[in-house]
Structure 1
Amino acid sequence: MNNNVVIFTTMKKLDTLTAIAGDLTAILSAEDRYQRLLDALHRAIPYDAATLLRVQEDTLIPLAAKGLTPDAMGRHYLRGEHPRLDIICGSSEPILFPEESSLPDPFDGMLISDPEALQHIHACLGCPLYINGKLVGVLTADSLDAHAFDHLPKQYIQTVASMVCAQMQMADLLKAVEEKAERQGQIASDLMQDVANQRGWEILGKSHVILEMKKEIELVAQSDFTILILGETGVGKELVARAIHRHSNRRDKAMLYLNCAALPESLAESELFGHVKGSFTGATSDRAGKFELADGGTLFLDEIGELSLEIQAKILRAIQEGEIQRIGSDKMIHADVRLLAATNRDLEAEVQAGKFRADLYHRLNVYPIHVPPLRERKEDIGILAGFFGERTRKRLGLNGIRITDGALQLLARYSWPGNVRELENILSRAVLKASRKTARGELVRILPEHLAGDLGSALYVNPAPTIEQPADSEPRRSFREEVQAFQIKLIQSALDRSNGNWAAAARDLDMHRSNLHHLATRLGIR
């Protein structure tokens, strides 16, 4: 009997099952429940990385991961692109892939302890999760030891799978109760389908400010209050508006969107309230406006601060009286509409300047929601970067990408004046640039140098200092200068760790030695 068999004792198995069973009765959030489940499994299954994924049609969506880089949670995994996951989904029992398998691992390059490990021979275990005969999820485990899972009893793995399904079922049922879903008693597999369908509009992030904002959204969504969504450009105000509508009692009705900033003043009234034929030049037929079309549902007015005072007065009437009037018509039309509005302007200052009606402002400001800028939620950058990187990978038809630790650290140092939208743009360009020097089929690595590029002179680093900077502090550097300084620091640290050995430093930095020499020469440190 080898060491693996000795270690995997009956006590270990019972401890694991007891821990999972105990969590079934605990009051935990879904995220905590899934993470604790992976922690419990680690007591008996010697993995280096594990994931729990929910199955939505042909896509697998990560619920929890352990031992993988943060960007793994921001990705969706298509069965057609990942043969190992496809095989697991098509099986009725646990799958242990042979060590000589040539099939690519879906988590190649994302193992925290060794980014290169999953491209070498390793142990890979996959377990399909079924509820009432329906595939609802997949549990995977990877180990650097090619024989780590050889002696795991299949019956034990199937028992664990049943308890994992129970955990998923419990999490979804609790979520249904918290949201006062109309069908609280439906089975967890149906609930999981509903949650997965909404993921396309999910607000990504686990930071404290984002979790608090989500609580506010769920609270205010159940009311019919007019909501004012505040925040800088690019923070995701539309995403918040859609989340409010999705959690509201009007979710079965339409939510219409209108960007007021892109609306010519001459057309604003018609777009909002409609017109009748012949009411003005070009009005060749009757036309309903957004308020009328959104009857029973939600209307989201983005950049409402751009509208004229005259239009603001008519919006105020629509909110107060629930009535609108088409241009050229004497008829009043009742419209039951919940109004959500957003702006990046300081409306209080606009009111003081006479550019925004005070009565409309107070009517809109019943329950304001502030969307935090990205610099206040930097712990979410890894998840967002993984999501945007994966989306760009699919658009470009690439095999896979990995955002290196150095790149993630550099992203965290930037203040993001353009917020999430700027992060998406920079990641998209970085993936494209990194792919140019990567052979087809190989893993694309995003390095710090790919984040500088030709981003334009308008990008500047504005670090948010934890203490007040003295008057004689160094001037702010451009984004390119910040990247170069960071590269120098990384190279010097690698050289220190390798006692000045450039070949060893290149391996440490995951670079070819000649590329490191060229970069060091360009940076003036060789």
Structure 2
Amino acid sequence: MDLNLLLNDLTVLLPAAVRLQRLAVAVRAEFQCDAVVILALEPGGSSVLRPVAAVGLTRDAMGRRFLLAEQPRLAAIMADREVVGFEADSRLPDPYDGLVEGHHGQPLPVHDCMGLRLQQDGRPWGVLTLDGLRPGRFSPADRERLQRLQPLVEAAVRMSRLERENQDLRQAGAWAARAREGDATQAAAGGEDLEIVAHSEGMRHLLEESQVVARSDLPVLLLGETGVGKELFARRLHRLSARSGQPLVLVNCAALPETLAESELFGHVRGAFSGATGDRAGRVEAAQGGTLFLDEVGELPLVLQAKLLRTLQNGEIQRLGSDRPRKVDVRFIAATNRDLRTAVREGRFRADLYHRLSVYPLPIPPLRERREDILPLAGRFLEVNRARLGLRGLRLARAAEKALLAYAWPGNVRELEHVIGRAALRAAGLQQDRHRILAIGPELLGLEGPEGSTVPDAAMQHGALALDGHEDAEMAPGLSPRQAAQLAQRQSIRAALEAAQGNWAQAARQLGMDASNLHKLARRLGLKP
């Protein structure tokens, strides 16, 4: 490693993510290895590692989380203060199987790896791992050299933490000054989140902004399309606030029955209506001292909007059937996928309530505007489904990655989660041996193509390739997602026909399709006159 370059990095200001990525690149260059990853322990726990910088891994790897209980190599590194090495004949599973560039979706060949536990303030912070795909790549001298570099690596990590903390303080001061001037639209401080994957610039900026506004008691209005993650941001705002030890109460305003909505929100006293046999507190009182999240707030009836306005203005509620006001101390977060300004102009939403709720608006961008997040998010959902289904490994084929990146995602992150979940289930159903690494092909995703065509559900047959060797066929470079999907479908049908010795009806049964649908699909793909 160029020690002068590393030392020079320690003397200059760099964004935290940039500093750690430069560190990973420098380590890879020094040891001439195939992959270097820096992983940090998730905040609030010591059993999950997440990548914060990597070189040599696929893009979706950055969204994955590695549970120490399932990753014996990472657990061994975390348990030792010295460099831990794994020889080429180690039988322990590798956490990066199928995630190393050049071996995309394939089990790693026999190789060497080593790792080092990183500490901050005397406590474990994370690990640094190095993988060399050539057996015998790392010698005892390499391990000693990595051990000597430990103080410099940990110093770089400390600098990244200090830079993030300083950025928090600087931007918090700027936010407070502008808030006093009535400007509540500027950026705020940075921070990591346990659930929100943010690799795009827009989402990183949004996480930074929400970090500081969380510390205030200002009402926040979360804006964005269905499925962008408004509830996740509401939970984040509560968790990072001074009220985090108090309740977070979630209310879906669109699901409130109109006849019972007032009682649900503000409570009632005995005899207030037929069936009210006793006093009952509402959702607002349930959030006393904490946060009330009003999802789909634009669906509230006008009569309830007036009562909610009183609560926001005076910190008071009045139970249905009671004349006595009650004081409440609640922080309000609201969310909507509607244009409330238009609703105000049309008389469907009170202007005074809108201005009370939107003291600090936070617009969340749709997934199509932050494509850098698609593959890391897919990696996160793949890892969740891999654990749920008890699979050794679950990866995306290259053509599937292209299809995900080309899709418009009208349902945003929620749609991506469902697409990956369904594809994982289909892949698991197609392979009996769950100890093999499975790669999901584009036909398992069921996405609309560029011309509006949809990959038929029944054509999901052989899109899961078992990867103990290589993929059945390598996709030609430059194929569009639609072309890649059609190629995979042709391969699937040919394989089924070969297994059925040319019997179309038997091939259709094997593929889980109706025979007539198979004939139609084959004609469309040019496999049958």
TM-score normalised by L of structure 2:
0.80
DSSP-derived class of the 2:50 partner: strand
Matched, 1:227 2:220: yes
Q: Deviations over 1:463-511 (max 9, x none)?
A: 6xxxxxxxxxxx6333549x99xx9xx99995799xxxxxxxx99x999
- 1:49 and 1:492, CA in 2 relative to 1: closer, same or farther beyond 3 A? closer
Matches within 5 A, 1:150-169: 150=139, 152-169=141-158
Matched, 1:29 2:15: yes
DSSP-derived class of the 1:243 partner: helix
- 1:249 and 1:134, CA in 2 relative to 1: closer, same or farther beyond 3 A? closer
Give 2:309's aligned residue: 316
How far did 1:317 drift?
A: 0.8
Question: Any conservation in 2 of the 1:375–1:416 contact (CA below 8 Å)?
Answer: yes
Give 1:476's aligned residue: 452
1-side partners of 2:497 and 2:82: how far apart? 47
Q: Deviations over 1:234-272 (max 9, x none)?
A: 111111222233333433433221111111122221221
2-side partners of 1:133 and 1:368: how far apart? 40
Question: Any conservation in 2 of the 1:46–1:149 contact (CA below 8 Å)?
Answer: no
2-side partners of 1:348 and 1:116: how far apart? 48
Give 1:444's aligned residue: 438
Matches within 5 A, 1:208-287: 208-287=201-280
Give 1:18's aligned residue: 4
Give 2:70's aligned residue: 81
Question: Any conservation in 1 of the 2:40–2:51 contact (CA below 8 Å)?
Answer: yes
- 1:496 and 1:305, CA in 2 relative to 1: closer, same or farther beyond 3 A? closer
Q: Deviations over 1:412-443 (max 9, x none)?
A: 11111111101000100101111223322000
Matched, 1:367 2:368: no
2-side partners of 1:360 and 1:38: how far apart? 50
| Pairing partner for 2:102 from 113, 137, 141 | 113
Matched, 1:432 2:408: no
2-side partners of 1:204 and 1:303: how far apart? 23
How far did 1:512 drift?
A: 12
Question: Any conservation in 2 of the 1:111–1:118 contact (CA below 8 Å)?
Answer: no
- 1:365 and 1:444, CA in 2 relative to 1: closer, same or farther beyond 3 A? same
How far did 1:116 drift?
A: 6.4
Matched, 1:417 2:406: no
Question: Any conservation in 2 of the 1:324–1:334 contact (CA below 8 Å)?
Answer: yes
| Pairing partner for 1:99 from 82, 85, 88 | 88
Matches within 5 A, 1:59-70: 59-70=48-59
1-side partners of 2:498 and 2:221: how far apart? 54
Moved more, 172-181 or 416-425: 172-181
Matched, 1:339 2:346: no
Question: Any conservation in 2 of the 1:99–1:123 contact (CA below 8 Å)?
Answer: yes
DSSP-derived class of the 1:139 partner: strand
2-side partners of 1:383 and 1:327: how far apart? 48
Matched, 1:298 2:291: yes
Paired residue type of 2:63:
G
| Pairing partner for 2:372 from 355, 375, 379 | 379
Question: Any conservation in 2 of the 1:431–1:444 contact (CA below 8 Å)?
Answer: no
Paired residue type of 2:15:
S
DSSP-derived class of the 1:369 partner: strand
Matched, 1:51 2:37: yes
- 1:78 and 1:492, CA in 2 relative to 1: closer, same or farther beyond 3 A? closer
DSSP-derived class of the 1:119 partner: coil
Question: Any conservation in 2 of the 1:49–1:143 contact (CA below 8 Å)?
Answer: yes
DSSP-derived class of the 1:300 partner: strand
- 1:351 and 1:294, CA in 2 relative to 1: closer, same or farther beyond 3 A? same
How far did 1:338 drift?
A: 1.9
2-side partners of 1:511 and 1:165: how far apart? 50
How far did 1:358 drift?
A: 2.1
Give 2:182's aligned residue: none
Question: Any conservation in 1 of the 2:63–2:379 contact (CA below 8 Å)?
Answer: yes
Question: Any conservation in 1 of the 2:106–2:437 contact (CA below 8 Å)?
Answer: no
Give 2:400's aligned residue: 407
Paired residue type of 1:146:
P
Q: Which runs of 5+ in 2 are unaligned?
A: 171-189, 464-470, 479-486, 500-510, 512-520
2-side partners of 1:494 and 1:153: how far apart? 38
Question: Any conservation in 2 of the 1:233–1:344 contact (CA below 8 Å)?
Answer: yes
- 1:135 and 1:369, CA in 2 relative to 1: closer, same or farther beyond 3 A? closer
Moved more, 404-413 or 133-142: 133-142
Q: Deviations over 1:304-336 (max 9, x none)?
A: 111111000000111111111112222221222
2-side partners of 1:37 and 1:398: how far apart? 33
Identity across the alignment (%): 46
Question: Any conservation in 2 of the 1:226–1:338 contact (CA below 8 Å)?
Answer: yes
Give 2:184's aligned residue: none
2-side partners of 1:496 and 1:310: how far apart? 60
| Pairing partner for 1:122 from 96, 106, 111 | 111
- 1:21 and 1:516, CA in 2 relative to 1: closer, same or farther beyond 3 A? farther
Matched, 1:206 2:199: yes
Question: Any conservation in 2 of the 1:71–1:385 contact (CA below 8 Å)?
Answer: yes
Give 1:137's aligned residue: 126
DSSP-derived class of the 2:413 partner: helix
| Pairing partner for 1:389 from 369, 382, 386 | 382
1-side partners of 2:122 and 2:426: how far apart? 45
Q: Deviations over 1:146-192 (max 9, x none)?
A: 122115343321122222222223333443444459xxxxxxxxxxx
2-side partners of 1:493 and 1:173: how far apart? 45
1-side partners of 2:105 and 2:201: how far apart? 32
Q: Which runs of 5+ in 1 are unaligned?
A: 1-12, 182-194, 453-458, 464-474, 498-505
DSSP-derived class of the 2:260 partner: helix
How far did 1:364 drift?
A: 2.0
- 1:99 and 1:496, CA in 2 relative to 1: closer, same or farther beyond 3 A? closer
2-side partners of 1:79 and 1:172: how far apart? 23
- 1:29 and 1:513, CA in 2 relative to 1: closer, same or farther beyond 3 A? farther
Give 1:185's aligned residue: none
2-side partners of 1:293 and 1:394: how far apart? 35
DSSP-derived class of the 2:154 partner: helix
1-side partners of 2:379 and 2:215: how far apart? 32
Paired residue type of 1:43:
A
CA RMSD of aligned residues (A): 3.3
- 1:293 and 1:131, CA in 2 relative to 1: closer, same or farther beyond 3 A? same
- 1:117 and 1:373, CA in 2 relative to 1: closer, same or farther beyond 3 A? closer
Question: Any conservation in 1 of the 2:105–2:396 contact (CA below 8 Å)?
Answer: no
How far did 1:382 drift?
A: 0.3
- 1:413 and 1:148, CA in 2 relative to 1: closer, same or farther beyond 3 A? same
- 1:263 and 1:128, CA in 2 relative to 1: closer, same or farther beyond 3 A? same
Matched, 1:348 2:337: no
2-side partners of 1:492 and 1:89: how far apart? 39
